[in-house]
Amino acid sequence: MEKAVGGKTIELVLGDIVRQEVDAIVNAANPTLLGGGGVDGAIHRAGGPAIIEECQTLRNVRGECPIGEAVFTSAGRLPARYVIHAVGPVWQGGENREAELLASCYRNALRIAAKLGLRTVAFPSISTGIYGYPTSEAATVALVTVASFLTSEPQAPDRVRFVLYDTLTFATYAGALDAL
């Protein structure tokens, strides 16, 4: 499923993010940048040691990555060129700037992609796994933020793909994309 936004494309696919042949995949990272569970663990496992080594170097230079921010590394053995590590918020009921921080991590990942001149970027559903962000709310924040970036930033990627791991998440994002 896809939708044109400002001459660019937002696409939804059901699949595995580590198999995407795009310029960059976005990792739903934790602040340590040192891997974890879910998407983060899958990316680190599939990408191999190069990603963790680069993350350790970044961490040694700048410390942890704040919630809402993003950094990038090479993609190691993944079919992408880069991994953009974006740190989303843990859901705390919605009254602790979660939507603002989630939007910020999508924007910051896209700013990195634009700065690197990337044309295709694949995102997971950030913060909806172990971080507990309700998928329906996260999908709206993600899609509105990405659509706004694509229409306002001339250097934005041509195609932003959301790679959704299960049919319920896909259906939730599809409803949010239809509502755009």
- pLDDT, tens digit (0-9, with 9 covering 90-100), for 55-72: 999 999 999 999 999 999
What is the model's pLDDT at position 167? 97
Number of neighbouring beta carbons within 10 Å of residue 100: 11
pLDDT band for 37, please (50, 70, 90 cuts).
confident
What is the count of structural domains for the chain?
A: 1
Planar angle of CA 150, 161, 167, nearest 5 degrees: 135
Options 16, 40, 166, 178, the catalytic residue: 40
Could you give the 3-state DSSP secondary structure of residue 158? Answer: coil
Asked if residue 118 lies in contact with residue 24, where contact means CB atoms within 8 angstroms, the answer is yes
Question: For residue 31, what are its two tokens?
Answer: 């602040």
Q: Which of 117, 89, 99 is nearest to 28 (CA)?
A: 89
- 128 pLDDT above the threshold of 90: yes
What secondary structure does DSSP assign to 106-120, as a single string?
HHHHHHHHHHHT-SE
Which residue range forms the structural domain that includes residue 159? 2-179
**Residue 16 among the catalytic residues:** no
Which residues, at least 6 apart from 168, have a Cβ–Cβ distance to it below 8 Å? 135
pLDDT band for 35, please (50, 70, 90 cuts).
confident
Q: What is the CATH number of the domain that holds 84?
A: 3.40.220.10
Predicted TM-score (pTM) of the model is 0.97
Q: Which of 168, 162, 120, 165 is nearest to 143 (CA)?
A: 162
Question: For residue 113, what are its two tokens?
Answer: 């992609």
